Amino acid sequence: MLRDHYIFSNGRLKRKDNTIYFFDQEENKKSLSVHQTDNLYVFGEVDLNSSLLNFLSQHDIHLHIFNYYGFYAGTFCPRNKKASGFTVVQQSAHYLDLEKRLYVAKAFLRSAVHHMLRNIRRHKEKTEEYVERIEIEVQKIETAKSIQELMGIEGRIRQHYYQSFNAILKNDFIFEKRTKQPPQDPLNALISFGNTLCYTTVLSEIYKTQLDPTVSFLHEPSTKRFSLCLDLAEIFKPLIVDAVIISCINNRIITKKHFEFMEGMVFLNEEGKKKFIKEWDDKLSTSVQHRKLKRKVSYRYFIRLECYKLIKHFIGDEPYKPLKAWW
């Protein structure tokens, strides 16, 4: 089974024959199995060359780069071998037709809200008021006539949802307001770090299909970003990221000692990143019995299945029905 590898130390990534090696600053060598690698995540200062990038491209390995603070810098994506002009044209046609675009955008949002409510209903004795507020906003989704109106509904729902964390989380983690660039408290640092891992995972899964990651529906397409990743991540942030955050905090896997505090900025330290990533990987590899496929499917593969369902919708095979976790 393919897996992700994470590099936290400074050093060099090097290809030798048909193997990737990482050399740390003391020249200690570690080999990475190419045939078992899906993504490489680099959090340290790492040197590499074009020979390595060519090798990664040949084996469809994505390289995700983060800076010292754990903020996402960019991704090296191998040449897209799944490209389909027909699918891209149909995907773009659904973006250009407002009615068709709204259908897909509303589907993303309905799935996201389903998973948000799933999280907070597990603590219903403490979160009933937030559930009611979100349900009032949910009723407005069907009557929304524009993407801007839909994004406004999404913003209000997410605000109520994050406020409910104060009733769910233990150990002095408090939500005051969402701050991103940069995060200004430990909870926001966790949310930002987890969301970034979600975006890169979604991007990797999109690239294994014929979808174009730049043509989106809920989020406005623009230059310099893969906006379809943001759309699909709406489904999986509450299902995977937020579930991991709640578990890490309430089970004291991550505490305040796992953060670094600077003026106007908070971020996970190396130990904190490693602990979160372990829980993240465990969650992605967790399998669930799929009702239609009649076999077990990992959380990661559910992302790919969502891409396949979108393709079927765009080419007219089957109307898109977003994932709504039943387990």
Binding residues for Mn(2+): 154, 219, 234
Whole-angstrom Cα distance, residue 5 to residue 38? 8
Whole-angstrom Cα distance, residue 280 to residue 191? 12
Binding site: what residues are annotated? 154, 219, 234
8-26 b/e with 16+ CB inside 10 Å = b? bbebbbbbeeeebbbbbee
Long-range contacts of 89-98 (CB under 8 A, 24+ apart): 90/314, 90/315, 90/316, 91/211, 91/212, 91/215, 91/310, 91/314, 92/212, 92/215, 93/314, 94/217, 94/313, 94/314, 95/215, 95/216, 95/217, 95/221, 98/146
Cβ burial of 142 (10 Å; 0-12, 13-18, 19+) is: exposed
